[in-house]
Structure 1
Amino acid sequence: MDCISTRVNKVSPSLTLSITNQAKAMKSRGEEVYGLAGGEPDQDSPVFVKEAAIEALNEGKTKYTPAAGIPELRQAIADHLAADFKVQYDATQVVVTSGAKQACFNAILAVVEEGDEVIIPAPYWVSYPEMVRLAGGVPVMVETTAENDWKITAEQFEDAMSPRTKMIIINTPGNPTGSLYSKEEIAAIGEVASYEDIIILADEIYAKLVYGENEHVSVASVSKEIYNLTITVNGFSKAYAMTGWRLGYAAAPKALASVMSKIQGHTSSNATTFAQYGALAALEQGKNFVDDLVGEYDVRRQFLYARLKAIPNVKVTEPKGAFYFLVDTTGLGLKSENLCDKLLTRYRVAVVPGIAFGNDHSIRISYCTTLDVLNEAITRFEEFCRAH
């Protein structure tokens, strides 16, 4: 239709949702499908989170709140960031959002003007470039390598910069790679950003899902200079199994936090009121739940890593966080969408094509499912690989 804006026409639909929906449609027809495409925990939300939301409903907490969220949740988030990630924010610097996705979009809208460039390391989460385009900006993809654990270097960042560069997006731990930036790597990137006052959008939604001896380093915690340029994004979907609750947050220097709150006040307004009380319970009571979740995922991660390393014609690096593997399928000689379509229709295994993340010779495998499903799915994937 001629009435549709060019801004929207530039945006591509989400391939991750497309694959997931296709697998669900097959299941609804009675077909057995082994789903490794999803980006959400298979566990239910904690009981204490549900009870807190129910109590809030029963107490009539169903009215508007301030656009940036209820004060006690904003304070709890600030306390949580200080205690767990050594980054200091005042409650007034926190904006509670309808999912971390909205926090990312608010941040981009607050900073990016028409024609501004945003540097995005590839592979990247599918929504980053589309958000930039919706804001009128220009996504600048920088290819990373498995040899460097799929992370952008300070040198690559500097080479990609132009006078129009306004922001860089750092996702740690990363989706789809599971990569984790060290303090030294963040410091080097931050030093480059500080030369030109380039904003760092630090998407840390998987911050609590880190394995073994590895440690998440919050970007804003590294130095005062980096803190002053960083918008920290996090939320409740991944670590607390609260994807459908749609609760995230951004924490930023006061001027940026104020602008993001203003944007939200004219778009979605506050995140769902009673759900915010569930999020408050998650922060106050959720440590054991998160620890158990991380322990379970680490078992799956190690199992899957051992299996994938043994499969011919593919390569894999060990993820340090999140709950994905990015598998290099160059040796199979297939474009990623073609590979995923054959794997789903012939072997009933659903994974996400790497082209969705900017790498057409890979697939993303999620281990948000049981070991039994993982075992059967990877057995079928190995059969597929040996047949090619």
Structure 2
Amino acid sequence: MKTETGALQPVIILAIETSCDETSVAVVKDGNEVLSNIISSQIETHRAFGGVVPEVASRKHVEVMTLVIEEAMSAANVTPEDLTAIAVTQGPGLVGALLVGVVAAKSLALAWNKPLIGTHHIAGHIYANRLVAELQYPCMTLVVSGGHTELVHMEQEGRFNIVGRTRDDAVGEAYDKVARALGFPYPGGPHVDRLAREAEEAVTLPRVWLEPDSYDFSFSGLKSAVLNVVNQSKMKGLTPDVAGIARGFQESVVEVLVEKAVRAVRANSAKQLLLCGGVAANKGLREALTARCEKEGIELIVPPPVYCTDNAAMIGAAAYVKWKHEGGIPLDMVADPGFSLEKWSVPTY
């Protein structure tokens, strides 16, 4: 869009993210400048249950939504008149949680007469990388989160092709289950990461490579192997080597993730490797992938931890891409807990 003087008018998007247990609202300019990014976490609420309770998450979103929107607008120092569009996570995610965000976004779009942009949650994680660096295509993305573990090839901006995915547990889910077996509370990933880095030796655990040419992942067998080690120690009257198990588990996960990601980059002639998702905050994974990419001469982009976990800034970044290519969508858009990343892709050019 241009002003009357012919200058380009900035695209300012108010973005809403409520796919799981974070209520987040952000204001993002031109897809890469974060004017505000407010996150209200529910971790303390769900810790008592050992995981996210969908109905509780939905209620918490309702309780804080208005306040978070107001805080994001105030922190960005913008008014409704300044906004270009309203973006919201359409899916995937918990359906009740998604509905809260979708209803809020539709209400704002209607009240403020702004276009609506339904946005894919994983596309948001991927484009969180654009908040810290310019993306070059084709590129490869390693998505690692509580619900997703995928290798996504992007031939051009906004076009997604999943070349590998988990066949069972996502890596973040496996971390939480292993942490629970080792006696740590939800969320367990940070506890396992910390222990793995402190351990002097690793308990040897299997690597699951699947077929020789496969980019898919599997973590349920590794999780079972951890449980077997813990149970065998207890049956012998011994205290499990919690730190050694954590290190062995993390080394197994990281080796497979790094090796398959590098192989996928080479096979698809990707110019960059992007890391994203909640598990991208894992220090062990970040360090191992950084070291391997330096050795291989691969450009690696990793967002800071605040943009790895669920947040609305990433939704604003992805929504900007959709806005550039397709504009807004009708207000009869519905929340879609099984939303396909590949179908959300923009048209080819």
TM over 0.5: no
TM-score where L is the length of structure 2: 0.30
TM-score where L is the length of structure 1: 0.28
